[in-house]
Every structure is written in C-alpha cells, then in structure tokens.
C-alpha cells in the first residue's frame, strides 16, 4: 500500500503552493483520464491536487477579437454554447465529437488538451512501453497491433497517437496556452505545448513540475466561420479518431485568403499541416484541389503495417473537411 | 469520538493533520482547502485494516437525503454509493468510463461515477436510479417508458441508460432519433435494446407516458 494525499484548494495560489512543496503530486481536474490510469496502474501519484475547487478557472469568454477558455470550463458547457458554434464550428464540433456526454460533463478543457495516449500497450503495465517506463521497449513497434498508432511524428521509441479532438481545432487556429506556476504566469503557443516523442517519449508536454494550465486563448480570425471538424472512426459516435481534420477557410472572391489544416488520429502530437495550407493559399479551392491538399498533408507519413490505411483515410478526411469548410466560407461571402 | 469527526467545511481535521507527514506539510503551507486528507495507509493496514477513524468524511446529498460517509481516499463515487451506502442500483460495468452503466447525475449532470473520486464529489448532489420514483413508489415517467417499450433485456445497463435518458431530455438534446442516439452513445447495451431505448425517450419527450 502507498501513501496518498488528496488536497482540494480553493484558490490558484494554494494549488500552486501544494504542487511546489516538494511532494510528488499530480493535478486532478475532471479525472476522466487520471482516475482511469490510476486504476490501470499506469500512474501512481503519491498525491493529487484537485483543482476543481478553483471557481475562477471555470469561466470562458467569447470576445469579438479573442476567445478565452478557463482551464476548468467543462467540455459540455463550451460544446453546447450556440454562440461558439456560430463563431467557430470546428471548435464546437471537435468538442461534440469527443468522448461521451458523461465524460464531457466531467472533463475540463485544460485536462482535455493534456489527455494521455490510448495506445493499448501504454495502458497495460504488462507490456513494454518507453512512454510509461523509459527504456523498457515498445510493444507496438515490436510486432504489436498498430492500427491506432501515429503515422506522423513517431520515433524508434514510440508511435503512440495523441487521441484528442479539440486540440486539432486549437492548433489550427493558433491557440495560446496560459500556464501558471509559483514563479508567475507564462504563455506559450499551443503548438509548443506537446512535444514529439523522440528518444524521450515519457516527456509529453512542455509543462514543468509545479505548473498548471490556467487558460486557453484563441484570436478570432476570418477562417473560423468557414471551419469544420471531420472525424472518421470505427463507429458513428463515441470512438477515438482513425483520422480527423480541423480545417478553416476564408475566401476573397474565389481565392483562398486564409486556410488552416490540422490532423488528428494520425500523429504523436496535435498536428498542423502547413505544406497543405501553403498549397491552397492564394489559389482556388475545389474538390480536386482539396484532394491534392489532403495528399500533401499525409505525404510525410511513416506508417507501420497496421496503420498504413490512415494515409488514404487521412487524405480523404482532409479533403472532405475542406469541402464542408468551403461551403460554409461561401455562405459567409 | 464521533463528534470529533464531524466535518467542518473549510477546516482541516486535526486528526488527519497529526497522523501524517504529508498532511502536516499541507498544513504548514497554509492551504485553504475544502478537504485535506493524507494518511499512511500501510500503517493503518498493519493495525488490522484501515481504521474507520482514519478515513476522511464527505457530505453528499443523495436523492435528496443528506449523507455523511467515511471513504478511503481513492474510493470512486460508485464505490461509495454501492459499498459504503449500500445503494446497489447504480451498476459497475467496465469501471473505466467506457460503458455508462455507472451513470448518475452529479449536480444535475450525467457522469460516469466510476471515474469520479468520492472526495471530489464532496458537497455534491447525486441522483441515482433509487431516487427517481416518488415517495409513494410511483415510477418516474422514464422508468415507465422503458418498461412499456421493452427498452431493456437483461437490465444491467438500464439504471445508467435511464439517468442518461433523463439528462438527454433535460438538456434539450432529444429533438430527433439521431440526436438521441448521439447523446446516448456513452451508454452501451450488450442486449442491443437501442431502438426501444430511443422509442422510450421519444415517448417521454412527447409526454405520452403514464407516469
């Protein structure tokens, strides 16, 4: 049996102090990942700092120029917000297509972006996993099942997939993450929050010990109204992505004046497809061009036997998402 | 000494602070906490099991009744309901938030009670399947509709299905069969009673159930 402490501070300052007092404590928010992984024996924190008592982190604001989401806003509350749905469909759709109602009711936005991989070998301590136990090997690369693994961003140490949905819409629209620690507050690009596995797959984010994500901000842009999140999965609802795309398009006449493409279900981290954006920028957009953009987005893929299908699927999902986004952008124009 | 253990909101219980270095640390940094709990579980176990007086207490309003209960700190809400309070109407299926059998309403929202720590639910209002009938035993309209429309076979997932179904209508997401199916996708039914579950929800939505 292990020591275990549970703290539920009412203020951010108290939470930061609890994390910084030298004990090995993890942050607990909605718990939908943390409690699950504790039961599986994947994580075994000596203590939890439950931050859900910090009411000030629950708010979100949808300003004309900036969207600001407190880290403790619920996925369900934000996903059900009609104003957000009108302003940026991709942000709403990527919340609605994530998990189940019950999980979205409990899960908070800050926890959601930090969701851990669903790699079956990471989740089962019987198997080798460099992410869970550095240096132990990788059961997926060692002949395991690889149909749900990354084809972009993986390494010789780890091909685990980042499973989240909302993160793809955030990276597409250049979100910024606000992070607090005892030393103060810092802001980083959402694109820099998750780090590639490389030789150290146990390091998943740029967060330092003692830091808490406090907010996520997105600057409003023209391509938000012409945006869409398309998710392909094994069943119609409540499943992780086999491939997904968050895209946004704005038009000047028939010419693409802003385009954003991010990929889910295929990469080690939230993934921005810049080369595909560059291909479409300042040109026309039709189905042929959308399909070519999809092909380009997946062109650097490095699949394993089980995940090879994701190249064609991912390209099709990007193309399909772009065509819906185009329709929405045209309605705006 | 039951009086010593009555919870005082916002105040850490001295008993816990004096038993553990971890908790002493928490006190030393002056946290204003709803709950501070820390204990050396191994020590308690050596003494012949986790002593009841070593456990933190939480307050829940369960189906309208105030309950105070002592829980091991890693206890989940569903375990507290079933094992501590003896309310076995809420079922454990997968125990990992994947099947929805454990669905209850916590502060009005449907949640997987297997993924909520009981300590995190402290002060919350919980509605379980046991709380749906009225005081003289008349079933909730959703219970009647499930029965009338044969919306179950083995019945194991049914308590969770019914709580989710009530939330589905309460939240205004029962507009169409497709919307109901999407909203209800977090509740799996191995007997595949899905079509009849949708029919039952539509019947309650349309007010054509004798409750």
Instruction: Provide the pLDDT for residue A332.
Output: 80
- Checking if the pLDDT of B82 tops 80, the result is yes
Instruction: Provide the pLDDT for residue A2.
Output: 66
- Checking if the pLDDT of A118 tops 60, the result is yes
Q: Which DSSP helix (H) or strand (E) runs through A35?
A: helix A34-40
Minimum distance, in Å, between the CA of residue B54 and any CA atom of chain A: 13
Quickly tell me which residue has 């910090």 as its tokens. A54
The three-point CA angle A14-A15-A19 to 5° equals: 115
Minimum distance, in Å, between the CA of residue B41 and any CA atom of chain A: 6
Q: Domain range holding A248?
A: 222-332
b/e B5-24 (16+ beta carbons within 10 angstroms → b): bebeeeebbeebbebbebbe
- Checking if the pLDDT of A128 tops 60, the result is yes
CB neighbour class for B4 (10 Å; exposed up to 12, middle 13-18, buried from 19): exposed
Minimum distance, in Å, between the CA of residue B147 and any CA atom of chain A: 24
pLDDT bracket for residue A259 (50, 70, 90): very high
Instruction: Provide the pLDDT for residue B32.
Output: 41
Q: Of all residues in chain A, what percent carry a pLDDT higher than 90?
A: 96
- Checking if the pLDDT of B14 tops 80, the result is no
Instruction: Provide the pLDDT for residue A305.
Output: 93
Phi, psi of B165, deg, nearest 5? -65, -40
Beta-ladder partners of A68: A61, A217
Q: What is the pTM of this model?
A: 0.91
CATH of the domain spanning B141-205: 1.10.150.120
CATH of the domain spanning B57-130: 3.10.20.30
For the stretch A228-238, pLDDT in tens is 999 999 999 99
Q: Which DSSP helix (H) or strand (E) runs through B166?
A: helix B158-170
Instruction: Provide the pLDDT for residue B210.
Output: 64
Q: How many domains does chain A have?
A: 2
Strands (E), A121-254: 176-181, 184-189, 212-219, 227-232, 243-252
Q: Cα–Cα distances in Å, from A76 out to A38, A56, A247, B165?
A: 24, 18, 22, 16
A218 closest CA partner among A244, A187, A196: A187
A268 closest CA partner among A316, A188, A198, A213: A198
Instruction: Provide the pLDDT for residue A333.
Output: 67
**Chain A residue numbers touching B103 (CB-CB < 8 A):** 102
Minimum distance, in Å, between the CA of residue B3 and any CA atom of chain A: 23
Facing residue for A9 by CB, picked from B31, B74, B186: B31
Q: Which DSSP helix (H) or strand (E) runs through B66?
A: strand B65-70
B197 by DSSP, 3-state: which? helix
Instruction: Provide the pLDDT for residue B211.
Output: 52
Question: What does the alpha-carbon distance between residue B165 and residue B152 come to, in Å, rounded to a whole number?
Answer: 13
- Checking if the pLDDT of A309 tops 80, the result is yes
Does the distance separating the beta carbons of A5 and B37 come in below 8 Å?
yes
Average pLDDT estimate for A181-206: 98
Assigned domain for A76 exists: no
Q: Are B152 and B165 in contact (CB under 8 A)?
A: no
Extents of the domains making up chain B: 1-55, 57-130, 141-205
**Chain A residue numbers touching B56 (CB-CB < 8 A):** 6
Among chain A residues, CA nearest to B99: A100
pLDDT bracket for residue B26 (50, 70, 90): very low
Does the distance separating the beta carbons of B111 and A5 come in below 8 Å?
no
Question: What does the alpha-carbon distance between residue A97 and residue A233 come to, in Å, rounded to a whole number?
Answer: 10
The ipTM estimated for the assembled molecules is 0.96
Which domain CATH number covers A269?
3.30.390.50
Q: Are A206 and A181 in contact (CB under 8 A)?
A: no
Among chain B residues, CA nearest to A50: B120
Question: What does the alpha-carbon distance between residue B98 and residue B94 come to, in Å, rounded to a whole number?
Answer: 6
- Checking if the pLDDT of A148 tops 70, the result is yes
Residue A53: DSSP 8-state: G
**Chain A residue numbers touching B34 (CB-CB < 8 A):** 8, 10, 53
**Residue A21 CA, distance from chain mean position:** 30
Domain boundary among the residues A53, A72, A87 is at A53
pLDDT bracket for residue B71 (50, 70, 90): very high
For the stretch B110-148, pLDDT in tens is 999 999 999 999 999 999 999 999 999 999 999 999 999
- Checking if the pLDDT of B204 tops 90, the result is yes
What the block records as the tokens of A274 is 């810049």
Same fold, B57-130 and B141-205: no
pLDDT bracket for residue B34 (50, 70, 90): very low
Q: Are A149 and A128 in contact (CB under 8 A)?
A: no
Least confident of A179-188, A322-331, B12-21: B12-21
- Checking if the pLDDT of B29 tops 90, the result is no
Strands (E), A23-150: 25-28, 47-50, 60-62, 66-70
**Chain B residue numbers touching A18 (CB-CB < 8 A):** 26, 29, 31
For the stretch A18-77, pLDDT in tens is 998 777 789 999 999 999 999 999 999 989 999 999 999 999 999 999 999 999 999 999
pLDDT bracket for residue B42 (50, 70, 90): very low
Choose, out of B21, B93, B97, B177, the residue to mutate when testing the contact with A (most A CBs < 10 Å): B97
Minimum distance, in Å, between the CA of residue B44 and any CA atom of chain A: 10
A43 vs B: CB within 8 A? no
Minimum distance, in Å, between the CA of residue A101 and any CA atom of chain B: 6
Cβ count near A114 (within 10 Å) = 21
Does the distance separating the beta carbons of B31 and A7 come in below 8 Å?
yes
For the stretch B154-163, pLDDT in tens is 999 999 999 9
Beta-ladder partners of A60: A69
Choose, out of B38, B56, B164, the residue to mutate when testing the contact with A (most A CBs < 10 Å): B38
A31 vs B: CB within 8 A? yes
Assigned domain for A24 exists: yes
pLDDT bracket for residue B20 (50, 70, 90): very low
Mean of the per-residue pLDDT values of chain A: 96
Instruction: Provide the pLDDT for residue A113.
Output: 98
Least confident of A21-30, A80-89, A93-102, B151-160: A21-30
Assigned domain for A174 exists: no
Give the number of A-B residue pairs with CB atoms closer than 8 Å. 146
């Amino acid at each position: 049996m292990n020591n275990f402490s549970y703290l539920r501070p009412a203020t951010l300052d108290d939470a930061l102090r609890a994390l910084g007092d030298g004990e090995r404590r993890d942050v607990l928010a909605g718990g939908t990942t943390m409690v699950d992984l504790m039961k599986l024996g994947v994580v075994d924190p000596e203590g939890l700092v439950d931050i859900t008592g910090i009411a000030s982190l629950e708010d979100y604001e949808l300003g004309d120029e900036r969207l600001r989401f407190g880290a403790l806003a619920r996925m369900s509350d934000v996903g059900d917000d009609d104003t957000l749905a009108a302003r940026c469909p991709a942000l709403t759709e990527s919340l609605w297509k994530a998990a189940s109602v019950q999980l979205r009711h409990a899960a908070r936005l800050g926890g959601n972006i930090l969701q851990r991989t669903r790699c079956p070998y990471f989740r089962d301590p019987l198997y080798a996993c460099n992410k869970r136990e550095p240096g132990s090997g990788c059961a997926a690369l060692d002949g395991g099942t690889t149909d749900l693994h990354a084809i972009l961003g993986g390494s010789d140490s780890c091909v685990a997939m980042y499973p989240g949905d909302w993160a793809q819409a955030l990276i597409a629209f250049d979100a910024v993450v606000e992070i607090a620690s005892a030393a103060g507050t810092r802001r980083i690009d959402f694109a820099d929050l998750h780090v590639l596995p490389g030789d150290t797959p146990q390091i998943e984010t740029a967060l330092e010990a003692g830091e808490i994500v406090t907010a996520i901000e997105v600057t409003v842009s023209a391509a938000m109204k012409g945006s869409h999140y398309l998710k392909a999965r094994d069943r119609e609802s409540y499943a992780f992505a086999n491939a997904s795309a968050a895209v946004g398009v704005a038009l000047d006449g028939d010419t693409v004046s802003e385009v954003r493409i991010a990929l889910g279900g295929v990469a080690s981290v939230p993934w921005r497809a810049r080369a595909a954006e560059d291909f479409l920028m300042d040109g026309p957009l039709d189905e042929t061009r959308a399909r070519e953009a999809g092909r380009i987005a997946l062109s650097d893929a490095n699949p394993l036997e089980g995940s090879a299908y994701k190249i064609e699927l991912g390209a099709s999902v990007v193309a399909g998402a772009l065509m819906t986004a185009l329709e929405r952008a045209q309605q705006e124009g | 000494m039951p009086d010593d253990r009555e919870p005082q909101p916002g105040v850490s219980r001295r008993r816990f602070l004096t038993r553990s270095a971890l908790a002493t640390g928490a006190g030393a940094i002056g946290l204003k906490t709803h709950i501070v709990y820390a204990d050396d579980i191994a020590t308690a176990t050596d003494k012949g099991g986790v002593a009841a007086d070593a456990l933190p207490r939480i307050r829940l309003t369960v189906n309208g009744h105030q309950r105070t209960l002592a829980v091991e700190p890693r206890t989940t809400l569903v375990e507290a309901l079933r094992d501590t309070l003896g309310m076995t109407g809420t079922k454990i299926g997968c125990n990992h938030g994947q099947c929805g059998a454990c669905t209850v309403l916590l502060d009005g929202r449907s949640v997987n009670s297997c993924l909520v720590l009981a300590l995190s639910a402290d002060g919350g209002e919980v509605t379980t399947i046991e709380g749906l009938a009225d005081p003289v035993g008349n079933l909730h309209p959703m219970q009647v509709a499930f029965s009338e429309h044969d919306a179950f076979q083995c019945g194991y997932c049914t308590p969770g299905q019914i709580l989710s179904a009530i939330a589905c209508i309460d939240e205004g997401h029962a507009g169409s069969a497709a919307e109901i199916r999407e909203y209800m996708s977090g509740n799996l039914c191995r007997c595949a009673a899905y079509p009849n579950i949708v029919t039952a929800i539509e019947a309650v939505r349309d007010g054509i159930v004798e409750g």
